[in-house]
């Protein structure tokens, strides 16, 4: 499981979303009394408030990588004086290769990983045990690891051709245990090669062999500005279970949440239905696993909080989903990574999940069910469902 070395600094740039039109018509519309125009999607976009990876739409696109288009990734395979590689780099490259197709599917083709690699082992200048890969890995130690790998590989690659690097250690390097993401700090000397500053890197550990290729999609998500949805304390998957790859990487329904897809620009404003104030609105949702249609219905509850509803189906990246229907969750852009910035509302908290599923994996709401938050006056009713999605009604009293 990933962990980001913490070196928190205020974000330098705030980029506001351009509000677009919404598609659904409020249920209160009649032939004799025209309905008020739906609120634009931007009225439900939340500002980031943590100064780091969070659920806000004001992602700093200087500090974090653009989330659309093609990302040119160079994979380096490294070994160490105390842990020399004795095998080929080929199975390492093969382990991560499916991450590209998974990302393309998850983003509706709007984010592509162009993976290439040096098909040789790069010898690091220090022993694997010297790099401090523990859960309290510091930013400085992590940057040194990245710098050492780039410097050692520089004779064999032109780094000006790439947007980011993946650094994969030999299996013999047990000390490189987990897979943190490197996000550059403009206030530090940084890592340079071939006249280019290397701003983003994923440094894989031995956990990649446990989590599989989706660890690359999880960690690359951090370079886009997404937070961790698993818990840093207590029960690891208490907040979202297996519903998003930013939570349980090996979860049964790892497709990025519709909120994340909107934040990253994969879902357009026109695909978001917003209720920012009191009133009611009925929305037909198309499942997030398929392109097209309205992807999320958002009911804003404060300056930094909202409830979102989306349709989930057992198809595509979610083919192993434990439950299907409407997923309802609370988003808080003032909650820091690892503390539950997204929390799934569970429609079946007393259910007995089948093998391979957790109770929270059974959380989807079915037609006839509803969610209510009496504190904020928010209510979401699931009115009907079908093969490709559901109809929901948002109400705020």
Write the DSSP assignment of 280-311 as a string of letters.
EEEEEEE-TTSSSS--EEEEE-SSSEEEEEEE
State residue 312's pLDDT score. 98
pLDDT of 28: 32
Residue 35 has pLDDT above 60, yes or no: no
Give yes or no: residues 162 and 218 share one domain: yes
Q: What is the pLDDT of residues 313-368, one digit of tens each?
A: 999 999 999 999 999 999 999 999 999 999 999 999 999 999 999 999 999 999 99
Residue 36: per-residue pLDDT: 60
Q: What is the mean pLDDT of the chain?
A: 91
Range of the domain at 88: 69-223
pLDDT-derived band at 14, boundaries 50, 70, 90:
very low
- Domain assignment present for residue 33? The answer is no
pLDDT at residue 136 is higher than 60: yes
Q: How many domains, in total, are found in the chain?
A: 2
Q: How far apart are CA 331 and CA 308, in angstroms?
A: 7
User: Quick one: 333 and 354 in the same domain?
Assistant: yes
What are the tens digits of pLDDT across the range 242-258?
A: 999 999 999 999 999 99
- HSE of 138, CA atoms in CB hemisphere, 13 A: 6
Q: Which of 176, 192, 223 is the last residue of a domain?
A: 223
- pLDDT band (50, 70, 90) for residue 32: very low
Q: Are residues 185 and 255 in the same domain?
A: no
Judge if 52 and 190 occupy the same domain: no
- Looking at the domain assignment, is residue 326 inside a domain? yes
Q: 36 in a domain, yes or no?
A: no
Under the banding of pLDDT at 50, 70 and 90, the label for residue 51 is very high
Do 75 and 213 fall within a single domain? yes
pLDDT of residue 10: 31
Contact between 267 and 261 (Cβ < 8 Å): yes
Residue that is last in its domain, among 223, 249, 270: 223
Report which secondary-structure segment, H or E, holds 163: none
The reply to whether 108 and 167 lie within a common domain is yes
Looking at the structure, do residues 255 and 212 belong to the same domain, yes or no? Answer: no
pLDDT at 20 over 80: no
Pairing mode, if any, of strands 164-169 and 200-203? parallel
Q: Verify that 181 and 152 share a domain, yes or no.
A: yes
Q: Report CA torsion sign: 171, 176, 180, 181.
A: negative
Cα angle 70, 259, 65 (rounded to 5 degrees) comes to: 30
Looking at the structure, do residues 47 and 81 belong to the same domain, yes or no? no
Are 267 and 390 members of one domain? Answer: yes
Q: Is residue 153 part of a domain?
A: yes
Single residue among 192, 223, 254 that ends a domain in this structure: 223
The answer to whether position 233 is within a domain reads no
Task: Give the tokens for residue 20.
Answer: 């677009």
According to DSSP, the β-strands at 305-312 and 325-332 are antiparallel
- Regarding whether 247 and 383 lie in a shared domain, the answer is yes
Residues 359 and 243 in one domain: yes
- Strand order across the 296-300 sheet: 272-275, 296-300, 305-312, 325-332, 342-345
230 falls within a domain = no
Q: For residue 18, count CB atoms less than 10 angstroms from its CB and return exposed for 0-12, middle for 13-18, buried for 19 or more.
A: exposed
């Amino acid at each position: 499981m990933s962990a980001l070395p913490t070196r928190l600094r205020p974000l330098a740039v705030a980029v506001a979303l351009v509000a677009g039109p919404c598609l659904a018509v409020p249920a209160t519309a009649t032939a004799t009394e025209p309905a008020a125009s739906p609120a634009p999607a931007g009225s439900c976009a939340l500002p980031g408030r943590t100064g780091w990876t969070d659920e806000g739409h004001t992602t700093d696109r200087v500090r974090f990588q653009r989330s659309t288009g093609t990302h040119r990734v160079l994979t380096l395979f490294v070994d160490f004086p105390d842990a020399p590689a004795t095998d080929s780099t080929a199975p390492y490259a093969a382990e991560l290769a499916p991450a590209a197709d998974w990302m393309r599917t998850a983003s509706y083709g709007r984010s592509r990983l162009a993976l290439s690699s040096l098909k040789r082992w790069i010898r690091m200048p220090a022993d694997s045990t010297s790099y401090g890969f523990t859960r309290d890995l510091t930013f400085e130690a992590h940057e040194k690891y990245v710098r050492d790998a780039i410097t050692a590989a520089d004779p064999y690659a032109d780094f000006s051709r790439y947007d980011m690097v993946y650094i994969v250690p030999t299996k013999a390097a047990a000390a490189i245990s987990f897979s943190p993401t490197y996000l550059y700090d403009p206030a530090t000397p940084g890592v340079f090669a071939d006249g280019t500053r290397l701003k983003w890197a994923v440094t894989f550990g031995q956990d990649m062999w446990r989590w599989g290729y989706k660890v690359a999609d999880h960690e690359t998500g951090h370079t886009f500005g997404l937070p961790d949805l698993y818990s840093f304390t207590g029960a690891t998957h208490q907040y979202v279970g297996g519903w998003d790859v930013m939570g349980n990487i090996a979860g049964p329904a790892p497709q990025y949440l519709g909120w994340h897809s909107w934040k990253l620009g994969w879902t357009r404003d026109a695909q978001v239905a917003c209720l920012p104030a009191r009133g009611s609105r009925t929305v037909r949702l198309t499942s997030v696993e398929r392109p097209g249609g309205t992807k999320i219905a958002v009911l804003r509850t404060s300056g930094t909080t909202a409830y979102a509803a989306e349709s989930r189906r057992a198809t595509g990246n979610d083919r192993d989903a434990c439950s299907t229907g409407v997923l309802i969750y609370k988003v808080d852009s003032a909650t820091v990574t690892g503390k539950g910035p997204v929390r799934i509302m569970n429609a079946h908290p007393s259910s007995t999940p089948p093998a391979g599923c957790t109770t929270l994996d059974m959380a989807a709401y079915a037609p006839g069910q509803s969610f209510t938050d009496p504190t904020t006056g928010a209510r979401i009713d699931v009115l009907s469902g079908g093969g490709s999605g559901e109809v929901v009604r948002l109400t705020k009293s």
